[in-house]
Amino acid sequence: MEPIKSRRNPYLVLLYLLMGLAVGILVSLALGRYPILPNQLWDLLWEGIRNSASHQLTPAQAVLLRVRLPRIFLAVLVGAALSAAGATYQGVFQNPMASPDMLGASSGAGFGAALAILLDQSRQMVSIWAFICSLGGLGLVWVISSRAKGRQIFSLILTGMIVSALFSAGISLLKLVADPANQLPAITYWLMGSLSGAQGADLIWMGGALLLGMVPLLLFRWQMNLLTLSEEEAHSIGVPIQMVRMVLICSATLLTAASVAVSGLIGWIGLVIPHLARRLTGDNFRYLLPASALTGGLFLLLVDNISRNLLSTEFPIGILTAFVGAPFFLYLILYRGEEL
């Protein structure tokens, strides 16, 4: 990737993104089938929190606290996680086409969720199965690539493609044997991605995973700038490049696995948003990583608003991210290709 240098002050960019995210959350709270005026938000939130202990919520308070608030914050967390994971993969593999699904994490989660649905598991168990199979996919990729000859980085990519293809074939097989009346539609809808039905447990799950995954990435974001060096050059300046690469890949995969487990397969965010953040802050991962997380959270929040307000029935969010992300990435290729 050719280096991109931004003339903007990166701290101001991060501040503007944070302010934009805060405004987006407030606007999103007012949008929906049950409209809430902006001047009512604070009163509803305060009264709803006070009444939540006694479970005596008005319809407006219930919609705001139990439906809209969890979904909005889950959209921010998932968007931030997928974007940060995408930026990390692109830095680790030095490939502008790298995305969170390249090591089998997304397809593994899809297989786990489809298998859980086929076995008539609960919604929580579907997420758990998806998470376990996602991490299992990375473990399988890591074990196979470690035994392969040649450069480990290329072995990881090739093994990830093979494992992803195997999981995709497994998903197709499960869809083939699923009950076409109930199970097949549930599997298909889950694979298209959705944030509907978000609960407080999903926020706790996703928040914990985001904390565990983002802290190592933020701590190692200075070393990420050195991944363009050869292993000999990195060791000469005291950077254990293999250890750094392993920590980054595991952390990014944890973010991907947790995101897919609670929201289904939502594509393009981890591929497109890091390029947009790179245009804002440049290639320095000190600023690129937090900018990618903030931009991804804001982007998925806006797309989810479209998903739940565009039509009378909810539109799968994975389809919308493709409709938005594909043309934008095409623009980058056609008009900004020298900067990718």
Q: Give me 92's structure tokens.
A: 């680790």
pTM: 0.90
Q: Which residues of 294-304 are buried (b: 16+ CB within 10 A; e: fewer)?
A: bbbbbbbbbbb
The mean pLDDT value for 138-144 works out to 88
Q: Given a cut of 60, is residue 310 above it in pLDDT?
A: yes
Q: Give the best-scoring range by mean pLDDT among 21-25, 37-41, 197-201, 222-226.
A: 21-25
Tens digit of each residue's pLDDT (9 = 90 or more) over 202-228: 899 899 999 999 999 999 888 888 776
Condensed to tens digits (0 to 9), the pLDDT of residues 227-273 reads: 766 666 766 777 777 888 889 999 999 999 999 999 988 988 988 89
3-state SS assignment for residue 42: helix
Torsion over CA of 200, 206, 209 and 214, rounded to 10 degrees?
A: -120
* Domains of the chain (ranges, CATH numbers): 10-339 (1.10.3470.10)
Question: Can you tell me the distance from the alpha carbon of 72 to that of 93, in angstroms, rounded to the nearest whole number?
Answer: 32
Amino acid symbol at 118? L
Q: How confident is the model at residue 52 (pLDDT cuts 50, 70, 90)?
A: low
Residues 195 and 317 sit within 8 Å (Cβ to Cβ): yes
Asked if residue 337 has pLDDT above 70, the reply is no
Residues 6+ apart with CB under 8 A from 323: none
User: Within the chain, what is the greatest distance between any pair of CA atoms?
Assistant: 65
CA nearest to 190, candidates 139, 115, 79: 115
